[in-house]
Structure 1
Amino acid sequence: MATKKTAETKVDEKKAVKKTSTNVGTAATAAAKETVKEATEKTSSAPVKTAAVKKADEPKTAEKKTAQKKAPAKKPAAKKEIKVKTYVQYMGREVEEKDMIAAVKKSWTKAFGKKVADIKSIDLYVKPEEGAVYYVVNGTDTGSVAY
């Protein structure tokens, strides 16, 4: 029963402090808090156990905090890669980039006896007037392919 009175008086105390703090200055607020505190102590016949009340509330708030921590953070949406098709057009002929890359891979594996999986980078140099694609694979191996 003492805890009910304590909870009610705390609510009344907060209301009284709020009213006085809005009407008067900060010095009056401190005085109002003291007055409300004294009135609260006089009205309750049993000693107030605020520590017990706080301890009862602590596990609930601790559970909420751990539940919030355990929730996985939302990852930002992955950026969609833009699909690009490149065509080289010259004198009535058209060659797509993917076709040039396929021809370079085929030529490079035959010329150097290596696997496609060994390719780390391909640099293409297109010379439409010659009808050729010059390439550099992995920064060292060079060659050309006619298209």
Structure 2
Amino acid sequence: MAQVKKTAAKPAAKKTAAKKPAAKKAATTVKTKIELQYADKNISYDDIVKNAKNYWVKTLGKAAADLKTIDLYVKPEENRVYYVANGKEVGSFEL
């Protein structure tokens, strides 16, 4: 009688599941409204930003698409808004 060799079945290679990064919690956004009040005037944050963009396009004659960043410094006592556009161009306009 022929002898039959029994070989142990090799266990299937374990597949390691790709780890998924932990889900980030959704950032909580708070709707805000900023309004500058001085000398019987009320100017909203949105109006200041809009005026800065209009100044960039209409007064300076630059393309709106060229404005990437703008830092605004409001000085109500001088009735001026100073700006730094794109990290290098500086100027001011009337509040």
Bin of the TM-score, shorter chain as denominator length: 0.5 to 0.7
Q: Which residue of 1 aligns with 2:90?
A: 142
Alpha-carbon shift at residue 103 of structure 1 (Å): 0.2
Q: Describe how 1:2-17 pairs up with structure 2 within 5 A.
A: none
- CA distance in 2 between partners of 1:69 and 1:108 (Å): 53
Q: 1:96 aligns with which of 11, 33, 44?
A: 44
- CA distance in 2 between partners of 1:70 and 1:138 (Å): 41
Give per-residue Cα distances to partners, 1:55-88, cap 9 Å, x unaligned: 2xx22x72xxx2x515744432343344443221
Report which of the two has the higher share of helix: 1
Give per-residue Cα distances to partners, 1:78-116, cap 9 Å, x unaligned: 433444432211122221111101101101112332222
Q: Which has the larger radius of gyration?
A: 1
Q: 2:80 aligns with which of 118, 126, 132?
A: 132
Q: Which residue of 2 aligns with 1:114?
A: 62
TM-score (norm 2): 0.67
Between the two proteins, what is the percent identity of the paired residues?
A: 38
Distance change (3 Å), C-alpha of 1:80 and 1:117: farther
SS in 2 for 1:129: helix
- CA distance in 2 between partners of 1:70 and 1:139 (Å): 42
